[in-house]
Amino acid sequence: DAGVIQSPRHEVTEMGQEVTLRCKPISGHDYLFWYRQTMMRGLELLIYFNNNVPIDDSGMPEDRFSAKMPNASFSTLKIQPSEPRDSAVYFCASSPHERGSYNEQFFGPGTRLTVL
């Protein structure tokens, strides 16, 4: 398996533009997570899905952020409009699920977003 795939790896955009980040989880994993990493705030969970359904989006910073998972192999995180303070590395992670247990989250390579 290729692992979790994210695209693009780097994104530079101007303030006010729409940004779409993409993630393909590991096949067979039914949990998908979106994280944001900055020096100031560390790793923050933004939202996670179980079987394509959003379970907890309390970490989404504001209405400019939205995430979708239309099928088991694809998810997007959209920022519209983008602002300089959104500059960060965005990680997608996936994990399998065994009833009554916890399982390793596998991270993608991340997307480094720079908003000018």
Partner 1 sequence: GENVEQHPSTLSVQEGDSAVIKCTYSDSASNYFPWYKQELGKRPQLIIDIRSNVGEKKDQRIAVTLNKTAKHFSLHITETQPEDSAVYFCAASSGGANNLFFGTGTRLTVIP
Geometric angle at alpha carbon 61, from 88 and 8, rounded to 5°: 35
| Angstrom distance (rounded) from CA 52 to CA 62 | 21
Closest CA to 96 of 106, 107, 109: 106
Q: Which of 7, 43, 80, 83 binds partner 1 (CB under 8 A)?
A: 43
Kindly tell me which residue out of 7, 17, 50, 80 binds partner 1, with binding defined by CB under 8 A: 50
The HSE-up count of residue 61 (CA atoms within 13 Å, CB side) is: 18
* By the rule CB under 8 A, 108 interacts with partner 1: yes
For 21, the enclosing helix (H) or strand (E) is: strand 19-24
Instruction: State yes or no: residue 38 binds partner 1 (CB under 8 A).
Output: no
In the complex, what is the shortest distance from the CB of residue 109 to partner 1, in angstroms, rounded to a whole number? 5
Min dist CB 69 to partner 1, Å, is 15
Interface with partner 1 by CB under 8 A: which residues? 31, 33, 42-45, 48, 50, 55-56, 58, 91, 95, 97, 102-105, 107-110
